[in-house]
Amino acid sequence: MRTLPRHFFVTGTDTGVGKTTVTVRLMQQLVAQGLTVIGMKPVASGCEWLAGRWQNDDVRQLTAASNVSAPPELINPYCFEPAIAPHIAAAQAGIEIELDVIQTAYAQLAAMADVVIVEGAGGLLVPLNSRQQTIADLIQALNLPALVVVGMRLGCINHALLTAEALRQRDINCCGWVANSMDPQMSHPQENLQTLIAGLQQPPLLELPFQEPLT
């Protein structure tokens, strides 16, 4: 695998394309290399009340993969119960998501570990608040390069190229992309992969095969 930057942001072509799965996999590899690693999920929607606090499955997975313990409010400053677009969940809860709150939490985490990997919510242009700030604005506020997870399924070429174009327009450095095989029945996977390599102008950092769910 090519070298990754110390800290980076994981975005993707959509919600449910494997951002958490890929982030956990990368965290495990970095931990195995002897680095201290923290996973951050600044904005989570879809939480359950468990053991006296709101808990989100992505936050649980990233926390489990971290080898440095950090306060939950730094790992996940914003958590909303319904599994819906975060700006809608936040408005329902009467909360405005503030990028500077996330910046402050991130800076504290970055001081605690060699590597901090920050997972977005949904894709790059998902809105975060009433001021129309988006995940892309958050990446810029954190001054991080972006890793793009492409969920390999029909439609991903368009989504991947739009994501790459939106990153370029904002001068956000794309530090790589991951081809995540979500659909074992996908037709012409190799042709799709080659189209993505040509369009994104770089081979994937990682090709993650489809993994049968554990029964």
Ligand X SMILES: Nc1ncnc2c1ncn2[C@@H]1O[C@H](COP(=O)(O)OP(=O)(O)OP(=O)(O)O)[C@@H](O)[C@H]1O
| Residue number with CB closer to ligand DNN (13 or 192) | 13
Task: Select the span of 30-38, 94-102, 117-125, 137-145 touching ligand DNN (CB under 6 A).
Answer: 117-125
With CB cut-offs between 5 and 8 Å by kind, which of ligand X, ligand DNN, Mg ion, none does residue 208 bind?
ligand X
Q: Is 104 annotated as a binding residue?
A: no
- 19-45 burial, b at 16+ Cβ within 10 Å, e below that, comes to bbbbbbbbbeebbeeeeebbbbbbbbb
Q: Which of 7, 14, 41, 79 is catalytic?
A: 41
CA distance 88 to 96: 10
The answer to whether 64 contacts ligand DNN (rule: CB under 6 A) is: no
CA distance 106 to 21: 21
Calculate the alpha carbon distances from 3 to 8, 9, 18, 41 in Å.
12, 15, 21, 23
Q: Residue 63 carries which side chain, given as an amino acid letter? A: T
Interacting residue with ligand DNN among 121, 142, 150, 200 (CB under 6 A):
121
* Residue 97 is among the residues annotated as catalytic for this protein: no
Q: Is 181 annotated as a binding residue?
A: yes
With CB cut-offs between 5 and 8 Å by kind, which of Mg ion, ligand X, ligand DNN, none does residue 107 bind?
none
The answer to whether 19 contacts Mg ion (rule: CB under 5 A) is: yes
Residues 27-56 that bind ligand DNN (CB under 6 A): 45-46
Residues 45-74 that bind Mg ion (CB under 5 A): 58
In sequence order, which residues have a C-beta less than 8 Å from that of residue 122 and are 6 or more positions away? 12, 14, 15, 85, 86, 135
Residue 164 backbone phi and psi in degrees, to 5: -65, -40
Q: Is 137 annotated as a binding residue?
A: no
Q: Which residues have a catalytic role annotated?
A: 41
Binding residues: 16-21, 45, 58, 119-122, 180-181, 211
